[in-house]
């Protein structure tokens, strides 16, 4: 007996009438149901759920039920927020989407990160983009406030025999503007950093060290900032530490002759390729990118970290103290930001005790307790677009006579 046309199937699993074979129809139904159920079941099992590290926020908490009308009414919204943050495969999908936008579409998937040229990433938050554009200069009133604050700081410390240095760490976009996107153009030639440095040198006796010239000179020999991070690498930190120690030695009037970092032959360089760093992490695709990390460490380091007991290996600590076996070395307090983390291994070899505080403004109480011979205050240049200094010394500093213009070098 000859089978009917409807019963004859092709090698693709369809009948001559174009319908799927019943077996394939059932398989598609099962696949559809599994696709619908899998995210929910995986979420209940806690599989691959949660935020990516680049989102930098807390997960939405599970909804709580209380027997009040307000609490009951809030449950749908709370559950929706909880599910959106915890559903399975969310982190993986976010990372895939970010990688596709950066590597295929060639646009940044995050408003806080700029995609530059040749694989370079740049930070654009916390005033960084405004700092690059030079679009809002410091006003005369701002400059006078800076000058008065830092002069009070310098005078208060000088009355106690403490050498002071105000250090400006240049952001990566100031050192490597050639890798910034061509679509972003500066609106003015003079930066806030240049304004401030010129004003301090003309109207105060504040020792100020702008590290940009040293960085621009050093970059001619090797890369001194990370491509996928907003900070300098170890080589850049070494150059910065050399400049800081040299300036402290000069500014101490001969009282601190031992502050000399030496040269690169005293250090071991061990370059390593690893995952992308902080900017890649902000995008959530650090495993898709890589960083050629230029590392430097002293051949025979003598300092040790004494606080906290178990420090972060990258010195990402709000309060970190180091000690050196040579008691004749000076004591130091360093008020710093994230750029100061890489300075710790290089500066600490020259201080009997160094306290590093992740604070922009100087705390007189800390200085009184530590009794240092040196105080360093380090600011990233981009912060001049978002912060003004806090004058903790205005009530205690003796009034100083106005110095001659150009006195400070």
The 8-class DSSP code of residue 64 comes to -
- 32 and 133 assigned to the same domain: no
pLDDT in tens, the chain (409 residues): 455 544 445 555 555 556 777 888 777 877 777 666 666 665 656 666 555 555 555 666 766 666 777 666 666 776 666 666 665 555 666 666 766 777 776 777 888 999 999 999 999 998 899 999 998 899 999 999 999 999 999 999 999 999 999 999 999 999 999 999 999 989 888 999 999 999 999 999 999 999 999 999 999 999 999 999 999 999 999 999 999 999 998 877 767 766 776 777 788 888 889 999 999 998 888 888 999 988 998 888 999 999 999 999 889 999 999 999 999 999 999 999 999 999 999 999 999 999 999 999 999 999 999 999 999 999 999 999 899 998 887 766 544 444 443 434 3
Do residues 183 and 74 both lie within one domain?
Answer: no
**Residue 8 falls inside a structural domain:** no
84 and 176 inside one domain: no
Instruction: Tally the domains of the chain.
Output: 2
Residue 210, H or E segment? strand 208-210
Tell me whether residue 85 is in a domain: yes
Q: For 46, what's the count of Cα atoms within 13 Å in the CB-facing half-sphere?
A: 0
Q: Is residue 403 part of a domain?
A: no
Q: Are residues 55 and 132 in the same domain?
A: no
Kindly state whether residues 69 and 171 are assigned to the same domain. Answer: no
321 found inside a domain = yes
Q: Domain limits at 212? A: 121-385
Same domain? 300 vs 168: yes
Is 50 in the same domain as 163?
Answer: no
Q: Are residues 64 and 125 in the same domain?
A: no
Determine phi and psi for 66, rounding to 5 degrees. Answer: -120, 150
Q: Report if residue 9 sits inside a domain.
A: no
Phi and psi angles of residue 320, each rounded to the nearest 5 degrees, phi first = -140, 130
- Let me know whether 50 and 185 are in one domain: no
pLDDT of residue 260: 72
- Alpha carbon distances (Å) from 277 to 109, 181, 185, 310: 16, 20, 26, 22
pLDDT at 409: 37
Residue 60: the pLDDT is 67
Q: Which of 242, 245, 271, 247 is nearest to 259 (CA)?
A: 245
Q: Are residues 345 and 207 in the same domain?
A: yes
Residues 151 and 29 in one domain: no
The verdict on 153 and 43 lying in the same domain is no
């Amino acid at each position: 007996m000859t089978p009917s046309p409807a019963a004859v199937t092709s090698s693709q699993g369809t009948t001559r009438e174009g319908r799927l074979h019943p077996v394939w129809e059932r398989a598609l139904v099962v696949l559809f149901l599994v696709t619908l159920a899998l995210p929910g079941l995986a979420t209940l099992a806690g599989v691959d759920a949660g935020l990516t590290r680049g989102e930098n926020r807390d997960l939405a908490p599970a909804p709580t039920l209380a027997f009040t009308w307000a609490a009951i009414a809030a449950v749908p919204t709370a559950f929706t927020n909880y599910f959106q943050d915890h559903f399975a495969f969310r982190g993986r999908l976010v990372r895939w989407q970010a990688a596709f936008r950066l590597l295929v579409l060639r646009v940044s998937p995050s408003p806080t990160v700029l995609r530059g040229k040749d694989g370079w990433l740049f930070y654009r938050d916390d005033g960084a983009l405004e700092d690059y554009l030079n679009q809002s200069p410091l006003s005369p009133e701002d400059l006078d406030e800076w000058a008065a604050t830092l002069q009070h700081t310098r005078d208060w410390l000088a009355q106690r025999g403490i050498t002071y240095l105000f250090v400006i760490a240049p952001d990566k976009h100031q050192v490597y503007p050639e890798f910034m996107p061509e679509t972003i153009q500066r609106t003015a030639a003079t930066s806030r950093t240049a304004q401030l440095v010129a004003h301090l040198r003309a109207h105060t006796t504040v020792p100020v060290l702008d590290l940009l010239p040293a960085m621009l000179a050093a970059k001619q020999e090797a890369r001194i900032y990370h491509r996928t991070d907003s900070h300098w690498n170890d080589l850049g930190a070494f150059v910065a530490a050399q400049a800081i120690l040299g300036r402290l030695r000069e500014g101490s009037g001969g009282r601190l002759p031992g502050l000399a970092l030496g040269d690169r032959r005293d250090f071991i360089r061990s370059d390593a390729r690893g995952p992308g760093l902080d900017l890649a992490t902000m995008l959530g695709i650090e495993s898709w990118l890589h960083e050629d990390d230029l590392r430097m460490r002293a051949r025979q380091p003598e300092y040790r970290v004494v606080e906290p007991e178990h420090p972060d290996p990258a010195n990402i600590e709000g309060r970190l103290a180091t000690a050196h076996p040579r008691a004749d070395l000076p004591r130091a307090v360093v008020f710093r930001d994230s750029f100061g983390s890489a300075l710790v291994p290089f500066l600490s070899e020259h201080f009997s005790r160094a306290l590093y505080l992740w604070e922009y403004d100087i705390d007189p109480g800390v200085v009184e307790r530590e009794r240092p011979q040196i105080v360093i205050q380090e600011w990233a240049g981009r912060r001049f677009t978002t912060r003004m200094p806090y004058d903790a010394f205005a009530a205690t500093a003796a009034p100083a006579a106005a110095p001659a213009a150009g006195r400070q070098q």
